[in-house]
Chains A and B, each alone.
Chain A
Amino acid sequence: MSATIISLPDQSTARIPKTNFITKENGLLSWLLTGDHKRIAILYLISITFFFFIGGALAGLIRLELLTPQSDLMATDTYNKVFTMHGVVMIFLFLVPSVPATLGNFFIPMMIGAKDLALPKINLLSWYLYVAGGILVIYTMVSGGVDTGWTFTTPLSTHYVNTNVMSTGMAVFIAGFSSIFTGLNFIVTLHKMRCPGMTWFRLPLFCWAHYAASILMVLGTPVLAIAIVLLALERTIGIGVFDPTKGGDPLLFQHLFWFYSHPAVYIMILPGMGVISETVSTFSRKRVFGYTAVAFSSVAIAVFGFFVWAHHMFIMGISNYAMLVFSLLTMLVAVPSAIKIFNWTFTLYKGSITFETPMLYSFGFMGLFTIGGMTGVFLGTSGTDIHLTETYFIVAHFHFVMVGGMLMAFLAGIHFWWPKMTGRMYPEKISQLAAVVTFIGFNLTFFPQFILGTLGMPRRYAAYPPEFQILNVFSTAGATVLGVGYLLPVIYLVWSLKYGEIAGNNPWQATGLEWQTQSPPLTENFLVTPIMDHEAYDYEWLEKQNAKEVASVG
């Protein structure tokens, strides 16, 4: 780890530029009523970090309870509430908005050479809807929680529980619209606001990934909305649509719910994959191998992702023929994801690889997402799914893709773009340590859960047979390490705001329009509208740039 591409300006003379989007206006209202996509991104960053730690605390409680086979830390009802809130908070208030609402909001306009997103007021509305959803979730937790699982399976959620299904449903409904408006904004922006010369195939792959995720947000989330409305009506008025005694079908809720919630996992992962495309290219100093394949595979994941939802319902009572069709289609959707992994690997091949923190997280992503993805194929095969579903195998699978995959990609992105957003570098050594700690903690936490699942331990149970205890103890120990790994970045990133080295425009020597401006950027991003005249990831163009700059100074 001696070689590094970090290139900082001379610290004795470097200063943060006096005029930037942070200093442009002062006062709380200038932040709360802003139209500036960069300020909105920062607002989102603060809020999702807040909810991440709430979700993390809930995870800690889960792992503490599971140290012992008995339900001794809390009552089983309480345990049900804890894992439900953990799921709701982590999925709707953290994972879904994580990369799009922070990094996407901040950088998509800059990457395409625009001054802002197409609809800045809608962007701000998006954040307020998110906060409203978040407040409702906090209200739910404070007033007794909800215990149906984040999937709100009927008829449990409609007929059998006395908990706050309504307020959680409302929270998810509102947060859903936040997501819809973000996606809508991105689609319009990418179609209509690209600077001269920025053709679709010169866009950074980060933009392609967000485009695909935005299609899913716009088309999928409304179905969740109507599912929640019907759930609320069933629960309050008792209309009968999900009630077998009145002629309804509980499975209808699940069809509508999973029609969104499966694309939702692609909403969560695609932006992360976009980050990885950027980091893998930058830290191997090579253009992404097979740009077109990666771009099209993002869209393919989005399209195919709409046709596989019933693989979450194999044991619920769908017909055998539906099982067959959805299982086959699930095999298909794995292909584009694999294409991306192959392309990133070929990007690394014969590249000049360095191991700065974003790259460490990216390596973690590639390994852990591959494992998570492959176990997804085991689950997509209906024959094995019948045995593995509702066990800890599923829990391990989705934590590998979401935490080992998505969260690592998020951290990679935060570290990669931190110098651009703040003008400061984070401390490299401790951040590399945190990345390694996270990786170790993650594997210790979740790998035993694959084994537990195949051995038959059911999920969502506070008590379990004593022979499963040792693996659960490993898992909880890992969770503690993981917690440290996540706390460290908060500490050193905040520290870096005051004491970090001045980063300059382009500490990573990256291509991409966002790196050609000052750090932190101006409110209007560019003084003059850029004209894009080179391909994406064109490192030779960058060299020529630097040669010109050196030649013209002095």
Chain B
Amino acid sequence: MDRPVFQPALEGGFVGRSVPRLEDLPMLTGSGRYAADISFPRELHMRVVRSSHAHARIVAIDASAARELPGCVAVWTSEDVADIPPIDFRPTRVQGLEPYRQPVLARGRVRYVGEPVAVVFAEDPYLAEDAADLVAMEVEELPVVLSADRGTEAAVIRKGYGDVAAAFAAAHAVVELDLAIGRHSGVPLETRGAIARYDAMRDVLELHGATKRPHANRDLLARMLAREPSSIHLYEGHVGGGFGVRGEIYPEDVLVCAAALRLGRPVKWIEDRRENLMACNHSREQRHRVRAAIDAEGRILGIDDEFFHDQGAYVRTHGARVADMTAGMLPGPYRVPAYRAIGHYRLTNKTPAATYRAPGRYEATFVCERLLDAIAAKIGIDRVEARRRNLIPKTEMPYARELDVIDTELVLDSGDYAGLLDKALARAGWPALQRELETRRAAGEAVGAGLAFFVEKSGLGPVDGARVSMAADGTFDVVTGAASLGQGVETVLAQIAADALGVDYRRVRVAHGCTDRIEQGYGSHASRTTVMTGSAVHIAATKLRENMQPGCSAQGSFKSEHMTYPYGAHIAVVKVDRETGGVAVERYLAAFDIGRAVNPRLVEGQIEGGVVQGLGGALLEEFVYDAQGSPLSVTLADYAMPTACEAPGIAVLLTEDAPSPLNPLGIKGAGEGGVNPVGAVIASAIDDALGVPGAVTRLPVTPARLVEIMRAERR
């Protein structure tokens, strides 16, 4: 075959261009392979029997009727999995969390509605559900705790620096707020799924439907099932949304693996929506009592925050990371000479919580930006001016904050915060917008604009690797330990490789999400893939170019001790219906500096999707429980996610003014800047529409709550 070995690369390269995605063809032609599309001959179907009690002692579980149902192969309760330890969390400096890990099946006690108490294995999913309905549980009800104001304190996160007491003693004024973020989470349209198969010939256990962190999950499963990691392989297919919740090890993942080994048949489990909303990680719910000490010009002298993190019933794989990141990231883009955060990480009788896109930061930015608005109101200055006076100047970059975030030192690597603020205000036409809103308010409309500035974190280390090789036909294989959550990993890594190799990106195949292709991998989370895996691919491809022959390959490894910190500003215009409490988002601008955008269109997609998710948490989404701890938001009719109909037009301003000095391409991660400040900016905009600074203290701002806010204001 006479193919040109080298296709001429695009002039100026592929990085920085919005080239079409390599992933799209199977999706657009209905040939995608999601978890439910994967089947094996002789597979069994697993159904989880879940607790309908929020807190109870298990007196007895009677599975005899289920076992007798024709087609039911096995029923397991906790005795059947007594040898499997509870699910571990990532290594952490936070001590004392071990007793609160979740067992794969409840032992002696159930602690939230939805907790797995038994599993049924049957010949088809209908029979599995029939059998599950026959499992009877006798319990003795126990008191339930549904607020982090109470609840077992599993850990306390303490962070801070400087003399907070002195800052408050010297303050010209103090602003003090009591703020709450509602319980909500990432809700992927594709629910979770896990298909396990044991191949006795190779002595390999396969788990299909993996994503996010296949290698780490392999190692965790190996420990729990007492197997060698090399005898377990995880495989990733297409993923219908990750958002932090998908791709962690949950009880169901362990159970399908154990069952495939013990029952000698492939085992498939596909989560249904009702399960998804009560079994998959929740997130976000925190209450903050926060104070800021300020001088006469509104400059921050100190921040003192005490917060209560509602973890739900168990510590899951993230440990206390969300509370940790909240405390670490709360000072945001501002100079804060003295800081103290005390986070009470408490257990309640709700679905356990963990990370959801911009974990800890959606919460922290809401708190920090509510403070900045309150400072502006207190001093009587414009909200923009309050931020200008406190932003860390470009000249002080890199800026080391005496804080750590998830066990890494917080060093803001680069940034021109004031510069981006100016650009965002200019793009929004801020002065003209203010005049327009004044006119409309004078005519009786409740319209307002909100502004929020934020710092994200991305590119979590410590290391990543890649292998690039040239095939005989002149194409290239890039093998990575990354995962794809649908965000365009293959395209972006191919663009980076193509430029280093000097070839067309369409000649580059990117492998990800398969533990049998590469020894180590760190998956896709924490906005790390383009930064970490991308850098490793760049290094490997650059090496290969030195000796580019068919059959040759090169390894690349990239280490980073510090994260990179992208930053942004969002501006929203809202209209409040004073009578119904309805909020319409009329306009939205998301400005974001990510150092260098490898594929701007994909970055814009990340931001727009994130903004819409953020609007969900700001206005619509909340996991509500009744007084007995029964979840009331277990369908998509009652858990109200925004749809395309609720999404406003979103303008994205991408800037590349502050490339990261920490990696060869200057990249910062782009996955979470869309969602991060949305709660903050919507709160600010509603305040402005009502003409009441500080009106919003609690998310989501539901119509009923907003009517109450307006009623209280009139009194």
Chain A complexes with chain B: no
B residues in contact (CB < 8 Å) with A? none
